Chains A and B, each alone.
Chain A
Amino acid sequence: MSLTIDRLSQAGRWRKRAPMEKAALALGLLALALVLPPWPGGALVLGAAWGLALGGARIPPGDWLRLNAVPLGFVLTGAAALAVDVDAQGLHLAADQGRRAALVVLRAAAAVSALLLLAATTPAPDLVRGLRRLGLPAEIAEIMLLTWHFLFLLLDQAAAIRTAQEARLGWFGPRRQVRSLGLLIAQLLPRAMDRARRLEVGLAARGFDGSLPMISTARPASRPVLALILGGQSALAGVSLWLG
């Protein structure tokens, strides 16, 4: 089972760029989306993130739209609550005509696209290694990298179990869904633990003593590129404040 974001980040045009550069770019935009007023700041961030994703990283437009659509669906559900007021007469359109809801949607859309710009160009393990250099304890970083390893194996197993259940007509109807899902989870949990046991044997053969040393394969960030990123973000913030 492949996850779209992972697939894009592993094969994309920015795969070989330094994670530090991509993180500075996307997280900087994310911070701007949160601190600048949604209009016009959020709109500018949104435009920048979409431009960079489609024009710079060349993420296929269909994939990019689908990736944005799911979180935005949840954002809209939440924002619906902001567009209405409750009082003694019940629900009615908010006094501000939904202005607050629209601004929240704009801010969230900008922030989501900044997050996706990072996630769809940078494999998660690269980010974990970055966190490690920023002071995340080694144990936690190792657990995160192992989690990453296990989750793909377990996703495949879960998908296979589900296929087998469907072949025998599980999952058809709510009662069967509950039972099939319960049986699937109960089948997966011991297998996850069993995988951990067997990996322990496999790693012991290579001298596993608990820690997980690995050579670094990170690429160093280029100073001019970082300067360019920060400059661009400052300019975006400036334009936003000037327009606002």
Chain B
Amino acid sequence: MHIMEGFLPAGHAIAWTCISAPFVVLGARGLKRILAERPEARLDIAASAGFTFVLSALKLPSVTGSCSHPTGTALGAVQFGPGIMAVIGTIVLLFQGLLLAHGGLSTMGANVFSMAIAGPWVAYGVWRLAGRLGVPFAVAVFLAAFLGDLATYVTTSVQLALAFPDAESGFGGAFAKFAGIFAVTQLPLAVAEGLVTVVVMNALKGRRIRVEGAKA
């Protein structure tokens, strides 16, 4: 769920950029280490980023038209780890802003935090936890994608509520408003994404394509 260009006041835009920056810089460091060992890995990373971008351009027709598709982020978090995903996600968000006018430059810090940091970390955490608890494969995949998606949606609602607190009820009321409005589109989408990701992971397994952390 992207926050559009210009929607956040300058102060909030700068603050979220500062909050996201360390994650992206650390991710970039990790990426550099990988590239130092295996220079040609930049082709794989770029192909994954391109792939993630394409997912965002594939729309599941939904109630309100197009919406974001973090499916790739959940897949990527599982494949590359959430650290690297912060960098890949940032690149994807930049191209989404520049090629699809989806999101924006000033709001990029906030979007990176919700979609390239919070979402992937939650998806990754759920995936690992489910693995440890012995949750069945399909359920674990669904929960990782579904909850990763929800984490993005809740984070965005928090970001908007912080920027636009309600005149009377303050942050709480504003959060309820934003979360309520976006629930209409985001809850069904989160379910759809969870289901789609299950189909994807099953199909990949069927092709014997290795999925990190998946029990055979």
A-to-B contact residues, CB < 8 Å: 3, 5-6, 27, 30, 33-35, 67-68, 70-71, 73-75, 77-78, 80-82, 84-87, 91, 94-96, 100, 104, 107-112, 114-116, 118-119, 124, 127, 137, 139-140, 142-144, 146-151, 153-155, 158, 162, 177-179, 181-190, 192-193, 195-197, 199-200, 203, 208-212
Contact = CB atoms under 8 A, between A and B. Distances in A.
A84 to B, nearest CB: 7
B106 A100 contact: no
Contact of A151 (B53, B105, B196): B53
B7 A78 contact: yes
A185 B71 contact: yes
B41 to A, nearest CB: 9
A139 to B, nearest CB: 5
Contacts of B94: 144
A151 B50 contact: yes
Interface residues of B, number: 76
A182 B203 contact: yes
Contacts of A212: 42
A192 B47 contact: yes
Given A94-B167, A111-B104, A185 B43 contact: no
Nearest to A123: B98
A153 B47 CA distance: 10
Contacts of A71: 4-5, 101-102, 104
Contacts of B60: 177-178, 181
Interface of B: 2-7, 9-10, 13, 28, 31-32, 35, 39-40, 42-51, 53-55, 57-58, 60-61, 64-66, 71, 75, 87, 91-92, 94-95, 97-102, 104-106, 160, 164, 166-169, 173-174, 176-178, 181, 192, 195-204, 207, 209
A86 B173 contact: yes
B192 A81 contact: no
A182 B61 contact: no
A140 B174 CA distance: 38
Contacts of A85: 166-169, 173
B99 A5 contact: yes
Given A115-B97, A147-B49, A195-B47, 9 more contacts: A75-B4, A78-B3, A78-B7, A78-B178, A108-B4, A143-B91, A147-B46, A151-B49, A182-B198
B98 A112 contact: no
Contacts of A75: 4, 6-7
Nearest to B188: A174
A155 B54 contact: yes
B75 A189 contact: yes
Contacts of B7: 75, 78, 104, 107-108
Contact of A115 (B5, B9, B75, B169): B5
B211 to A, nearest CB: 10
Contacts of A200: 40, 43
15 contacts: A34-B13, A70-B101, A78-B3, A104-B7, A107-B6, A140-B28, A140-B91, A143-B45, A143-B46, A158-B57, A178-B199, A179-B199, A183-B203, A189-B200, A196-B46
Nearest to B43: A196
Nearest to A161: B58
